[in-house]
Amino acid sequence: MSQVKKVTMPLTDEVVSTLKAGDQVALSGVIYTARDKAHKKFVDMLNAGEELPVDLNGQLIYYAGPTPAKPGQAIGSVGPTTSSRMDAFAPVLMDKVGLKGMLGKGPRDKGVVDAMLRNNCVYMVAIGGTGAAISHSVKEAEVIAYPEYQSEAVRRLVVEDLPCIVAIDSEGNNLFEQGIAQYKQD
């Protein structure tokens, strides 16, 4: 079993380059949540020449819409959502504002992978259905933009050892493709 790589945010080109498809990662530091509505709003703002409500340079967006926190918790269940819903928007965020990491679940399209290669970016996955367990890694949570989007509001999370796996690395190695190829060989 491979050793877990501890990664502290923000992401640098050097750190991203060391992360390889299949690596187990424990993320710590500040990350942001955003889903479809926020991504569309971000891209619309960028296309209009406006500044985003958060500086995403060197940052990671977690595709999640958490549930409300119970007393004594920083956040409720915070499992990953399907990443492909952000595929139309992710390349713009990598190209225009320096987004370095994404965390969600499921495969990504060719446009996203091409943008990752251009921008030395990494895509990680968390296991769906583990939102309650993942919530224990969140030490602080604050809505920083679009509170009207409720669970899809943009949140700033402070995380400690949030477990994830590198699914697509900055060289384009892709666990989703490797897994299919390996299955066909067996």
The CATH number of whichever domain residue 169 belongs to comes to 3.20.130.10
Cα separation of 89 and 135, whole Å? 26
Return the pLDDT at 129.
Answer: 78
**Comparison of pLDDT for 178 and 15, the residue scoring more:** 15
**Comparison of pLDDT for 168 and 184, the residue scoring more:** 168
SS3 166: strand
Return the pLDDT at 177.
Answer: 83
pLDDT digits (tens, 9 = 90+) for 60-112: 999 999 999 989 999 999 999 999 999 999 999 999 999 999 999 999 999 99
Q: Are 16 and 173 in contact (CB under 8 A)?
A: no
- DSSP code per residue over 31-76: EEE--HHHHHHHHHHHHTTPPPSS--TT-EEE-B-PPPPPTT-S-S
- Whole-model pTM: value is 0.94
Give me the mean pLDDT over the 21-33 stretch: 97
Return the pLDDT at 130.
Answer: 81
pLDDT digits (tens, 9 = 90+) for 108-163: 999 999 999 999 999 999 987 788 999 999 999 999 999 999 999 999 999 999 99
* Long-range contacts of 66-75, Cβ-Cβ distance < 8 Å, separation of 24 or more: 66/33, 66/131, 66/135, 66/141, 66/151, 66/155, 67/131, 67/151, 69/141, 73/135, 74/135, 74/138, 74/139, 74/140, 74/141, 75/135, 75/138, 75/141, 75/155, 75/157
- Which residues are known catalytic residues? 39
Q: What Cα–Cα distance (Å) separates residue 151 from each residue in 1, 101, 179?
A: 36, 21, 32
Cα separation of 43 and 68, whole Å? 27
Domain span at residue 48?
A: 5-185
Return the pLDDT at 127.
Answer: 83
Is the pLDDT at 7 greater than 80? The verdict is yes
Please give the tally of structural domains in the chain.
Answer: 1
**Phi first, then psi: what are they for 65, rounded to 5°?**
-130, 90
Beta strand ranges found along the chain (DSSP E):
5-8, 24-33, 60-62, 101-104, 122-125, 138-145, 154-168
